[in-house]
Amino acid sequence: MTTRKSGLGRGLEALIPSVETTTETEFLHLPVERIKPNPAQPRSRFDDTALEELTNSIREVGILQPVLVTPGEGDVYFLVAGERRWRAARKAGLGTIPAVVRGSTGETTLVSALVENLQREDLTPLEEAHAYRQLLEDYGMTQEKVADRVGRSRSAVANTLRLLQLPGPIQAMVDGGTLSAGHARALLGVEDSRYAIHLAERAAAEGWSVRQVEDAVRARKEMTPKATTIRKLRPVEIIELEKRLGEHLGAKVKITYRNEKGRVEIRFGSIAELERLYRLMA
């Protein structure tokens, strides 16, 4: 797989939110078992082959770069950066591991973990999308602020978040690597979720290019009967509210408005997505 350029040229410290944190650091050799994975870690998958190679390297030459941790309750430390090194150290049978200990807030920990993974090893598109959503929902960031923190454009963040609007089976295909994010984004234009899943399965089985998926989506739209009645233009305010609400919820939103009344339709792709929307609005 081709390594994605992260574009994170400003350095780690430039991406840390401007919040009050404990800036004192110290270098220690910590027992491996006292270090725990960061609960806000965006990465959920680790390549077994790459992990085994790192383990063998650690057995031969040791750990050349310390992990970054933050103190937890008692004698526990949580990883901010370096989970692959920590996992490999455990597999190699090391009793202790070099670590830089730094005080940190929850927001700093999450952003640091996200930046660390983007710089060193690609997240899957869905892992990246979920990490961005966590920044939006748990820490009240806007898409612009998230983009600034991780060194991406706002459109790149928005396009990644759009993947979470796809039906569950398509998300699973992207997460499993059988369908690329580009293929999946092309399917966002299909209103019928069952047909979108059908196209996704064909694209994966037959090795379609993104262009072929786009052509299939376009053909589907051309087959859909068009309304013959002339519709009244929607107010600009309604269109803008529809856009803002969709961005806030991270879901497709449609507002039907007439005579000062109307309805709001929010689309979801899975039960988990519906539960997320419920928690967000509750």
Residue 16 has pLDDT above 50, yes or no: no
Q: Is residue 108 part of a domain?
A: yes
Residue 277 has pLDDT above 50, yes or no: yes
- How confident is the model at residue 229, as a pLDDT? 44
Contacts (Cβ under 8 Å, ≥6 apart) of 20: 105
Tell me the pLDDT tens digit for each residue of 126-150: 878 877 877 777 666 788 888 887 7
- How confident is the model at residue 5, as a pLDDT? 36
pTM, entire model: 0.53
* Partners of 28 in the β-ladder: 99
Q: What are the tokens at 187?
A: 């399917």
Q: How many domains does the chain have?
A: 3
Residue 2 has pLDDT above 50, yes or no: no
Q: What residues are annotated to the active site?
A: 83
Residue 24 has pLDDT above 60, yes or no: no
Q: Is residue 55 part of a domain?
A: yes
Q: How far is CA 230 from the centre of its chain?
A: 41
Q: Is residue 172 part of a domain?
A: yes
DSSP string, 17-30: -S------EEEEEE
- Mark whether 29 and 50 lie in a shared domain: yes
Q: Is residue 150 part of a domain?
A: no
Closest by Cα among 103, 94, 112 to 40: 112
Compute the average pLDDT of residues 2-12: 34
**Full residue range of the structural domain in which residue 269 is found:** 236-281
Q: Is residue 11 part of a domain?
A: no
Q: What are the tokens at 280?
A: 């967000």
Tell me the pLDDT tens digit for each residue of 96-105: 888 888 765 5
